[in-house]
Structure 1
Amino acid sequence: MGNRTTVREFTLEGFPAVQHLGKVLFSVHLLAYLASMAGNAVIVSITCASARLQTPMYLLLSTFSFLECCFTSAVIPKLLVIFLLGRQKISFAACFVQAFVFVFVGATGFFLIAVMSLDRYMAICMPLHYPTIISLRTCSFLITASLAVGFTLIMGLIVKVSRLSFCGPHVIPHFFCDLGSLIHLSCSNTRSTEMLTFGLALLVLFTSLLITITAYSNIAVTIMRLPSAKERQKAFSTCSSHLAVLSLIYGSCIFIYVKPKQASRLDSNREAALVNTVVTPLLNPVIYTLRNKQCAKH
């Protein structure tokens, strides 16, 4: 039938059940957003300014913090506008730009989490080989590769979704342009697009999750061999904090994206996405900096 798109803008539904609390929710989310941006920006600034922190570990941390700033900035400012002013309209082009930035940065972040897990594995389990294998050049290459792979995978998906026909309705039951919601609104045959989205979600999430689990399993074995009970307790306490944040990230994203059918779970996505875009970026600066030095010693 070809592309029959007649929709020129979408309406973001946001959180209609609590919209009457818009000003209160605006204040809460604005404070959380500013705290998240400030925490991650401090990490990036200190890492760039201090010669002592020009190490692979802190290069990865600062890159991850920069991605977190981009990730939360892709969606939270529009949510704040919805809460404060009730402006729910977003243009067709802006919607797909938002969707691309959100998914691209998110996918790259998962690849980077896997790289960070490998970095910790090498530092804790193979400390003698760590300086020769994990260098700034190696980390820069892995970061660039993560960005390139994420861009390639997500750009193809976004282009495919943007070529679907959108002839109404135009209300997105979310607070940002979620790909699943957009696919559900299309009046085209979306089976192949849904399967592609499902397949890419599996590839990104479970590849990085497998690497992370393998790395931390080996770290746990190494920690168990530490001679001092106090050292073991301290190391487990520190690394468990990292795993708690990873559980939030992976859990919410698996709940949102790893389902082949989109229509049956749109309403439940908003709460999980809010955790992913507000809570975890707020916690990450604390977890990955204040605790990281202690974890690295073990």
Structure 2
Amino acid sequence: MRLRGVRRSNNVEDRRRSGGGIVLGGGIGGLGLIALLAFGYFTGIDVTPILEQASGGGSVSESREPNAEEERAADFTTRVLATTENVWTEIFAEDLGREYRPPVLVMFSRQTSSPCGNASGATGPFYCPIDGKAYLDTDFFATLSQELGATGDFAAAYVVAHEVAHHVQNELGILGQVADARDAAAQTEANALTVRLELQADCLSGVWASRVEDLLEPGDMAEALNAARMIGDDRLQRRAGMVPQPHSFTHGTSDQREGWFAAGYDSGDIRACDTFAELRP
């Protein structure tokens, strides 16, 4: 992805030097535990590391300087974030007749806190609708490439765009509607709603990609499609030595994730992203 000359977003909160400053100790109270488990269940994030940390005591606040690789990842992230701001500001104004309020992206190292619960690098990127911020440990890019097989800079850009897409859903009121529907649903149906939500975010990421086509390099789209495929629920469960269990899926199959990203890219239109009306096999 050609980002030279692209501005850096100012909507960034950099917590990497502080290590996040999570306060631990005393465990998590009953209501806090329920909220945390619900958050992990709703987003598909593994909250086990958080629970393990919270069972200990003391606090974590480590001062450190990011290394050169981390700085490059941060520079890349802020430029990609700026492209999402440009794209969604334009789409909201031209297609929806309204103002787009971009999210703040929190960059952290190893661990941090949010109104949706504490997080560690092991949880992966996530969006918190309570404060309207996206959270990213830039070390995840290395995990994406080295552990999950999703290589290339546009695979990393797709990750940023996907979290921003959740903010777009929040701005449009979709997250709230799905949360209400999940509250009234049985577990399997609730999981299915979350799958539709995640696939819509993939599709919206594809719409963004279509609007930054002038920044793409040969092979970029292949990187994004491969990334979508590498993080499908069925592949991740097989990778963990499990037989895929569709009723437990929270993000969609590899085919679905790749297909919906491609649908957004091919159309360049958010109206092509109604995963709640149509769900591709």
TM-score w.r.t. structure 2 length?
0.32
Please state which structure has a larger fraction of its residues in helix: 1
Q: Which has the higher contact order (CA 8 A, sep 6+)?
A: 1
Give the number of the structure whose alpha-carbon radius of gyration is greater: 1
TM-score w.r.t. structure 1 length?
0.31
